[in-house]
Amino acid sequence: MALENLRHLRDDHDDDIPDQKAYGSFKVQRKWWQKLIFGLEDAAQEGLIPDDLKPEVGEFIQHYTSEDFHKQPLTTAEDISQANGLINKILGKR
């Protein structure tokens, strides 16, 4: 279930960064980031994160739950790329 959730977050949400407030399923939205963090934590608790990716997942969660990220005014294309890349690594290891 956790892996399917990660796949859904990667594939069923838009990578675009709209010029105005985003309505719909966009990765720039804070709720998407919250779901991603919960999904990564669930996958880790279920033992679905390969050992070699655990440090990277931990660092990712730490960064994207930090005050620095929350104070950032907008999600960047680099943020989205890092998220997609991590999901790809996790799913690719399966």
Query: Higher pLDDT residue, 9 or 19?
Result: 9
pLDDT at residue 93, as a whole number: 61
- Compute CA distances 77 → 56, 59, 83, whole Å: 19, 19, 10
What tens digit of pLDDT does each residue of 59-72 get?
A: 999 999 999 888 88
Return the closest-CA partner of residue 36 out of 73, 75, 94: 75
What tens digit of pLDDT does each residue of 17-69 get?
A: 877 776 778 898 889 999 999 999 999 999 999 999 999 999 999 999 999 88
Q: Does pLDDT of 94 surpass 70?
A: no
